[in-house]
Chains A and B, each alone.
Chain A
Amino acid sequence: MESLYLAIPLASLMGAIIAGFFGGYIGRKGAHTATILGVGTSFVLALLALNHHVFNGAEAYNATVYTWMISEGMRFEVGFLIDNLTVMMMAVVTGVSLAVHVYTIGYMADDEHNWPNDSLAGTNSYQRFFSYISLFTFSMLMLVMSNNFLQLFFGWEAVGLVSYLLIGFWSVRPTAVYANMKAFLVNRVGDFGFILGIAAIVMYTGSLDYYEVFGKAGGLSSQTMSIFSGVEWNVISVICILLFIGAMGKSAQVPLHVWLPDSMEGPTPISALIHAATMVTAGIFMVSRMSPMFEYSDAALSFVMVTGAITAFTMGLIGVVQNDIKRVVAYSTLSQLGYMTVALGASAYSVAIFHLMTHAFFKALLFLAAGSVIIAMHHEQDMRKMGGLKKYLPITYWTSLVGSLALIGFPGTSGFFSKDSIIEVVHHSSLYGHELAYYAVLGGVFITAFYSFRMFFMVFHGQERMDQHTKEHLHETPWVVTGPLIALAIPSVIIGAMTVKTMVFGSYFGNSIFISESHNALAEFSHGFHGVWGFVEHGFKGPALYLAALGVISAWWMYIKQPGSADFFAKKFSWLHKLLENKYYIDDFNAWAFGGGSRGLGDRLWKVGDIAVIDGFFVNGSARVVGWFAGVARKVQTGLLYHYAFAMIIGVLALLTMFVIL
């Protein structure tokens, strides 16, 4: 198995290298063939690994690939930990990635139109795009397969790099290159916490290896450390909160969420792959992987839960007022990531991962469907210029409907099982902040249903608001686009019912997830589980289903039945509308406080500190000397090297003589 595990990420990397460095020679076809073969190989091998561990019940595999370095006896390694949690992530990552690869053939087919005529940056952009998404797949695999914190951080930053490259893929667009820098910097704020967390782990456990660190986690929960003098903090809480700050960056939790909506500047396939299905869930995966640590800190778990709840609710609300089709889906992603985070806080790691998986399918589907609409509309993204697309794009329409229903948790779809589990689990939690979290996720259900179907109705139903030219050219997108839609629609419906029993209530995760006995929300919830049908039936008894229905009906009423009513409400609650349109003014605040603030500070330090004080005051003290020197220097500067060399030799001799005489 060992070489097979190694082959999984390397197959994707090979594709990336071939398409990236030799894209000019092998052409478009060569590039997409190479990368799809690479990722396809990764996918098939990942399924083999899944089969090996899940169905054949193989033991967890934990081994070193190579030793990066050894310092002070501590080993810094690259290695794999493959267990049921890992194989599931590997299958999801490679599966969605493969679908996106195929889809990209259609989406990027006429990418040359996205570049200025005389720009060489557009040369081989198609091949480069494939190279990047394969490189991303490699990085993400290394992240999830890691058995230590060093490699985790490697993967963590590597996916950030590829995200940077892809958001700014159309590097001549000012908005795109602003968004990618913003994404990288905001993620760096998270990584700032993350690296401190890793440093704390090294200090208190002397190791970077997961198993070794987990083994010592219990002992750390009784230790304290002092950050501000006089205040003692629990070591494990400090570590977990620092690590979670990293997760807040990568998984876009408030207040580090600001980069994700802007990341929509990138081409749609990567919005689906990176900014919906996989990379942004790295934080969720990480916390689940670290469950043996988080379980020892109620403070950290509460922090996680409240952060998630705030994200789930407030970000969903912004989605209600967006008019750009991709941004609606982006805010929906933020909100759903909040749901997963809430589940983590409730110690229901398996539920979080379960929602991660179902969400990966239906959100990738929704993004790719949005992309299909965008292709058909000739790169128009404003929903106010769409409408009535149902008859032109039948496959996109039906698959979108499937995706939307899964997202709002229509009974029986995959999203229903995962979202209901989260709501129920939070209901059973007794951690500080669980009431807030419960009402937030419940309220979120209504909001989700409303914005999802607002988008659905605005795009596919009602009046056709596009111009005549666009309308004449409207037709369903090619099979490379619709094929992946269908491929993703199937799991969006069935995967929940198929796996809920083993993943949420069963022993699927075995030893990969640890839950302390005092955190029994999931256990209590499990008592009420009597099979898949029972779960669906139970859904009809809870408030969530009715809230979702109310959301859909409200959307229908406001955008189909009474199309003018949306404007009426926007005017009536203009303060709220304005607040949401401006995204709670967080971007403005950041631009003012951090962007402007640090530039102002830098300017002040430079002009006052360096120029006025150090150079002006101290160095100017010797300025007269300098002036005198300059006068002398001007005379001796003949520009001929042997004069200087001569002077140099004289100088050395003089120096030596000085010693001899001394």
Chain B
Amino acid sequence: MFADWPLLSLTVWVPILGGIAVLLSGDKGDAAGVRRLALVIAVITFILSLGLYTGFNTGTAEMQFVERHEWISAFNIFYHFGIDGISMPLIILTTFTTILVIVAAWEVIQKKPAQYLAAFLIMEGLMVGVFAALDSIFFYVFWEGMLVPMFILIGVWGGERRVYATIKFFIYTFIGSVFMLVALIYMYYQGGSFAILDMHAMKLTMNEQLWIFIAFLMAFAVKVPMWPVHTWLPDAHVEAPTGGSVILAAIMLKIGGYGFLRFSLPITPDASHTLDWLIITMSLIAVVYIGFVALVQKDMKKLVAYSSIAHMGFVTLGLFIVFQIWENPANSDGSGAILAVEGAMVQMISHGFISGAMFLMIGVLYDRMHTRNIQDYGGVVNTMPIFAAFAVFFSMANAGLPGTSGFVGEFMVIIASFHANFWYAFLAATTLILGAAYTLWMVKRVFYGEVVNDGVRALKDLNQREFVIMFTLALAVLAMGLWPAPVVDVMHATIENLLQHIAVTKI
């Protein structure tokens, strides 16, 4: 039934217009009605996005569901949408997560709920736009636009130091994106087109590529975030409301990884090749260094934020290790590159579920106790046994236990990195120990043991709404861990094509 619909436009505009409708319905009237409206819009958007999955042709690397209209013809800028095996799963992740975030806000957000929910819906549309846009200026508009609702979310519904966090977040990301914009404009002047696919095909000298690569790196490394430009993330998370943290971790970070896949690798393959050591080093530092830093965090949100950085290290590692896999003389058949990139993709999607769940769990505790300090907890299992069971499950997923989605991507990237160099795999695999150490130590201190104070003693277990959210996420994490094939199959054609493309020099 969806076949003839402009599904991508719908998936972008339904939540944005719906968000505006929610905003207009205002906070003066019926809050329950506003929530229901927001939820209905999110669900409709999700169903629309499922059409992208069911109608997706896994056999081709061509862009699908393409829509192309003139927009600003003077500059050859088009209203241009289209998806492939890289963007489609990320779009579904976005629409899925938004539903959970809206449900999670239900009676928790009492301050201006209409504005809060509207911000999420508008942000959803803009994020889908980021993944679907095929014109780089169109992309850039969504890319900058989606930050605005996030600034507002942190700035209005955030914690005590929200202004500091917002500004830090803004400066970091803004400086990064300005360089990207310059690179895009430069390429427009050289090639006459803002179309991303034209840029893929464009010849560029090594010198040009290096500059463009670095400009992209500034934008995407901040977004991922990669060490050493990661320090905005823990602050932003700590100050953000629960829903903001979930969207930030589950989706916004992925936009950095997506950028590397969509822009850096195909547009500047030679520069990516030359500078791959830099990215690999930064990624491995993220895994090891950040793993140790996560261990000593006292604030649960900071701990999970640092754990996100470490997990995203696997994404960038998987993406940029391909050149060394091809070049390793011991790896005679050059295999492992596809595994690396697919592993990075799987890691992104899985991290969306798991980090989302982790932040939602911290939200559940924070709503009740109004503190995120690990020290203020202890023995939560005695008063919230069902919640504790979910906590152990998601923590195990965070530690990459096989059977959960957290294992799949890490496993693929570790195996692939062995194909490049023993020591890469060695350092990457330390996450098995470090990831388990920081996660389980937190579980031990927060959940196990005797009840430590009256606050914990008074805790009530999950309500129905919270249970449904946790259960849904648990199912997703488990399903993807037990049978990742459906997720991986949609990527094959695109990733194989991408790797063939970047194996050929552009000079």
Contacts and interface: CB of A to CB of B under 8 A. Distances in A.
Interface of A: 66-72, 74, 116, 118-121, 123, 153-154, 156-158, 161, 165, 168, 171-172, 174, 177-178, 181, 184-185, 188-189, 191-192, 195-196, 198-200, 202-203, 206, 225-227, 598-599, 601-603, 605-606, 609-610, 614-615, 618-619, 622, 625-626, 629-630, 633-634, 637, 639-642, 644-645, 648, 651-652, 655-656, 659-660, 662
A614 B228 contact: yes
A178 B293 contact: no
A188 B402 contact: no
B461 interface: yes
22 contacts: A69-B483, A71-B343, A120-B385, A153-B402, A154-B403, A157-B402, A171-B381, A177-B444, A185-B440, A195-B432, A196-B414, A196-B422, A199-B425, A202-B419, A599-B295, A606-B293, A622-B171, A633-B155, A642-B23, A645-B23, A652-B145, A659-B77
Interface string B310-326: 00000000000000000
Interface string B412-431: 10110111001101100110
A639 B156 contact: yes
Contact of B115 (A177, A598, A641): A641
Nearest to A645: B23
B432 A605 contact: no
Given A157-B402, A225-B422, A615-B231, A598 B23 contact: no
> What are the 9 A-B residue pairs with the smallest beta carbon separation, nearest first?
A199-B418, A602-B292, A641-B115, A177-B448, A119-B382, A602-B296, A72-B338, A602-B295, A69-B485
A158 B430 contact: no
A610 B396 contact: no
Nearest to A198: B415
B185 A662 contact: yes
A244 B126 CA distance: 50
A606 B382 CA distance: 33
B444 A120 contact: no
B119 interface: yes
B388 interface: yes
Looking at chain B's contact residues, the main secondary structure is: helix
Given A174-B449, A641-B115, A656-B72, A630 B335 contact: no
Nearest to A628: B167
| Chain B CB within 10 Å, residue with most, of A70, A116, A605, A651 | A605
A319 to B, nearest CB: 29
B231 A161 contact: no
B79 interface: no
A659 B72 contact: yes
Given A195-B432, A199-B415, A69 B444 contact: no
Contacts of A157: 401-403, 407
Given A74-B339, A599-B295, A630 B167 contact: yes
Interface of B: 23, 72, 74-75, 77, 112, 115, 118-119, 137, 141, 144-145, 148, 151-152, 155-156, 163-164, 166-168, 170-171, 185, 228, 231, 289, 292-297, 330-331, 333, 335-339, 342-343, 379, 381-385, 388, 392, 396, 401-403, 407-408, 411-412, 414-415, 417-419, 422-423, 425-426, 429-430, 432-433, 436-437, 440-441, 444, 447-451, 457, 461, 482-485, 488-489, 492
A610 B225 CA distance: 14
Contact of B385 (A66, A121, A174): A121
Nearest to A601: B292
A202 B415 contact: yes
A296 to B, nearest CB: 18
A185 B163 CA distance: 39
A196 B436 contact: no
Nearest to A629: B167
Nearest to B450: A172
